[in-house]
Amino acid sequence: MVLHFLIRGRVQGVGFRWFVHREAAELSLRGWVRNTDTGEVEVLVAGDPTALADLRTELHKGSRGSRVDKVIEHELDESEAASLTAFKIEGAW
């Protein structure tokens, strides 16, 4: 299963990407997380449906210091997961 999330709220500059990375890695999910130019956080993730449901729950809760106002979710075709590797943070230095 492959999901794309767009998280809106106070999610940049509060460790949200690191939070998502930790949660996804613990769930053995593949994919990436990154900030957008418009202040949101974007996640592309693939894995077991149960693990994805657990990640979804955590995304709605957010990290300490963040405020999640909205989570937009889309299910993608399995082919979108072909190039995904171990979960990573994109755009982190």
Q: How far is residue 50's CA from residue 37's CA, in Å, rounded to a whole number?
A: 31
Cβ 66 vs Cβ 20: under 8 Å = no
- Judge contact between 5 and 60, C-beta under 8 A: no
Annotated active-site residue 22? The verdict is no
Distance CA 66, CA 15 (A): 8
Q: Is 10 a catalytic residue?
A: no
Query: Of the residues 8, 17, 34, 64, which is catalytic?
Result: 17
Active-site residue, from 22, 35, 64, 67: 35
- Active-site residue set: 17, 35
